[in-house]
Amino acid sequence: MKVCVIGLGYIGLPTAAILANKGHNVAGMDVSQRVLDDIRTQGATPEEPGLADLVLGELESGRFTLSDKPEAADVFIICLPTPILPNKKADMSYVEKGVKSILPLLQKGNMIILESTVPPRTTSDLVAGMVKEIGLDPENDIDLAFAPERVIPGNILVELSTLDRVIGGLTPRAASRAKELYSCFVTGEIVITDSTTAEFVKLVENSYRDVNIAFANELAQLSYDFGIDVRDAILIANRHPRVNILQPGPGVGGHCIAVDPYFIIDGAPETSRMLKLARIVNTEMPELVVKTLKDMLGSLQNKTITILGLAYKADVGDCRESPALEVMRILESRGAKCKVHDPYVKNAGFELYELAEAMEGSDAVLVTTGHTDFKDIDPKIMLEKAKGNSILDTRRVLDRTKWAEAGWDFRYLGDGKK
């Protein structure tokens, strides 16, 4: 089949390369010339094991081609971003432009598959409506389907193939055709439903995790009221066979968990009460981090804070919606200077420091990402470079005993015993 993939980001690129590897003729389209040039020269970022070799190999084979314009195809797969706007509504402009770009190429019998995370009824209302505007019947002339991804950065190739997949069709025929295409590389079970249910399922999966994390974060806040260590309480509670509380932290980041609940809230604001409350709890956590640090230092004014970790999760370089960014913003608004070290982040939009430089003259250390590398930091050497000896670990990645023995005033976020 001829497949045109619109958007060569972290999902579109591996999807296109995998389909080409399975024998399809794939045209990858992206409006960014920089993205296209980077793909041609290096394939993909090294953080995704095996992806660069796969992409470069399929480009060399000729089964995978690149363009800044969509090409005629049997199947169009839309993998474009849907960021959240300041008013907490989904920005659908990228998806709308993507669909609009393929309308002149559509012919009867073509299929459009939307992979972008979207509010419920996007396929049936927005995409189908745009198809109707050019005189085609979205239920008979064109097949429309929604097929969301469930992958995490750093393991995309494996999870795209092995995880179960949900596919929702505007019609049963559309769902069946989409399932047939994805069956060429998905070894997990492919579950078929209608497009709106599939859109809702994608949002529910990430909203569930947001609610669970919010519960853990509220327990962390309560730990100061009751004088307990929240981590001890969670570990003991999780010994119950039907309890699985996640771990608290400085907030929720990433392109999914911190964003997707708003897509449901926007569509049903009066009904989605728990989702709204979870969002409030999780977005308050950076303020609790700053308050805890202020309690340790007495004042934040003119203090230099070394921040270890900018990425939203451990061992990746992705900073989207990272709570560390909000922690930085609050600290600087209170008169502190932040020096950030993250061995995984390549471009943050501001100056990043090597570890030794970040520690020079530091009044306090704040761990906001649980990178494995941080476990190997020598606390004695760090204390020699620092001006103060306060450290707050919001991810519990460091060994408190080792750091305390080296002379640090060490605290974990959510340890009310202190």
Q: Which positions are catalytic? A: 202, 256
- Among 164, 161, 190, CA closest to 178: 190
CA distances (Å), 183 to each of 10, 82, 167, 170, in order? 21, 26, 11, 19
Tokens representing 195 are 């497009």
DSSP assigned state of 301: T
Q: How many CB atoms lie within 10 A of CB 295?
A: 12
Q: Where are the beta strands (DSSP E) in 123-189?
A: 143-146, 165-169
174-182 contacts at long range (C-beta below 8 A, 24 or more positions apart): 174/111, 174/143, 174/144, 174/145, 175/145, 177/111, 177/143, 177/145, 178/111, 178/113, 178/143, 178/145, 178/147, 181/1, 181/3, 181/19, 181/75, 181/111, 181/113, 182/147
Cα 389 to Cα 385: distance, rounded to the nearest angstrom: 10
Q: How many CB atoms lie within 10 A of CB 133?
A: 10
Q: How many CB atoms lie within 10 A of CB 11?
A: 22
- Among 359, 393, 395, CA closest to 378: 359
The secondary structure element, H or E, covering residue 287 is helix 273-297
Cα 115 to Cα 305: distance, rounded to the nearest angstrom: 41
The residues facing 6 across adjacent strands are 29, 78
